[in-house]
Every structure is written in structure tokens, then in C-alpha cells.
Amino acid sequence: MKTLKTSALGLLLLIGLSSCSKKETTTTLSDSVPVSNAAASDSATKPEETAAAESTNESAIIDKIKGYIKNTLLTEADLRVIQDSDRKFKMAQTDLNGDGKNETFVYFNSDYFRGSGGGTVLLFSPEGELITKFTPMKLPIYIENTANNNWKSLVVSVSGKWKKLSYANDKYPSNPSMVAVEVNAPDKGDTVLFDNLDALKEYGF
């Protein structure tokens, strides 16, 4: 009789331990789900962080543009005679080669850089390196939707005619008036840059 009671007690203890083990396992799995979700939430990029990164990149490009203007484009003699009212530029950005990064066009909004045939326009890479210096060039600049050599072509007006500037050898033709290729008027679907200068922010250098 004593042996039977002992066996029954042992069986009950075994069942109890088994039940506790299952309960602990279930609790552990349940608790792991919120932890995983929290980690995923923390790793997601917040909109304000993206905006801050874009603002930082734009500031870096602007600083490089100003550095190029003052240290490479202009001489010390230029800087001595340029009035404060002429030390300004406006810029427009667009992706020319489909890599998801914007190239930057810079237009000098002052008479010092303009002549009868147009003004000076600079084109910079997303890293702030000069691609092409255009002069003389009239605004606006039309960007074709189709690519040539993996870069979109530019269409500008020269003496009442439309000229197509195609990318080759790591740059565009620097003097639109010397380009022989004439094309029809730009397509209405083309991207247009500098068509409304008043709407663009002005930067000093």
C-alpha cells in the first residue's frame, strides 16, 4: 500500500513538472515577439532623419560650389572688382544619368557673368565636382526624357535656334553656339530648369 502511494505521488510530481515546463516555454516565445518588433521599429529610418540627411547633403554641395567659384573659377582680380550685388547664384537640381542622385546646375544671377549671347552655367556632380562649364548659355534649360550615353541630353536656345547638347567623354559641350546639331522645339513633357528664376533661392559667395 505504501509503495502504491509513493508511485502515485511520483506520477503527480512528474505531471506537475511537465506542465510547468510547457508554461515556461510558451511564455518565452510570447515575450520574444514584442522584442523583435521593437528592434524593427528602431531600425526604420524616420522621415525627419531622411530630411535632415538631404539637408546636410545639399549644404555640403553648396559649400563645394562656393569653394569652386572663389578658388577656381574666379581669380583674385575678379574677386576684387566683383560687387557684392553680383556675388550671387541660383541653382536647380535633377538626375541626369538615372542613378538616383541629383546633378546641380548653377546660374549666376548677375550682369558680371552675362553677355549678349547668354550667361555662365556650371554643372556639378552629386559629389560637388565640376562636370561642365557652359558659356554663353541662355535659359531655360530643357532636359530630354530619353538618354544618350546613359545621360539625358540638354536642349537650349541659341540665336533663335534649338541646339541639343549630348553627353560624351564625361561632359557636355561647353559652348552651345558651337554645337551643330539643331532640333525641333523642346517637347512639353521635358523637364525645364530655370524657367522661373524668381521662384529659386539665391545664394551668395
Amino acid at 173: P
Residue 125: per-residue pLDDT: 97
CB under 8 Å to 55, separation ≥6 — which residues?
A: none
Grid cell locating 188: 512639353
How long a stretch of residues is the chain? Answer: 205
Domain segments of the chain as ranges: 47-204
- Tens digits of per-residue pLDDT, 124-173? 999 999 999 999 999 999 999 989 899 999 999 999 999 999 999 999 99
SS3 53: helix
- Write down the pLDDT at residue 71: 96
Q: Can you list the alpha helix ranges (DSSP code H) found in the chain?
A: 2-43, 47-68, 76-81
Are the C-beta atoms of 137 and 119 separated by less than 8 Å? yes
Given a contact cutoff of 8 angstroms between Cβ atoms, the answer to whether 106 and 204 are in contact is: no
Q: Which amino acid is at 12?
A: L
pLDDT in tens, 19-35: 444 444 433 333 433 44
Burial 19-56 (b: 16+ CB within 10 A, else e): eeeeeeeeeeeeeeeeeeeeeeeeeeeeeeeeeeeeee
On whether the pTM is more than 0.85, the answer is no
The DSSP symbol for 85 reads: G
Distance CA 38, CA 53 (A): 23
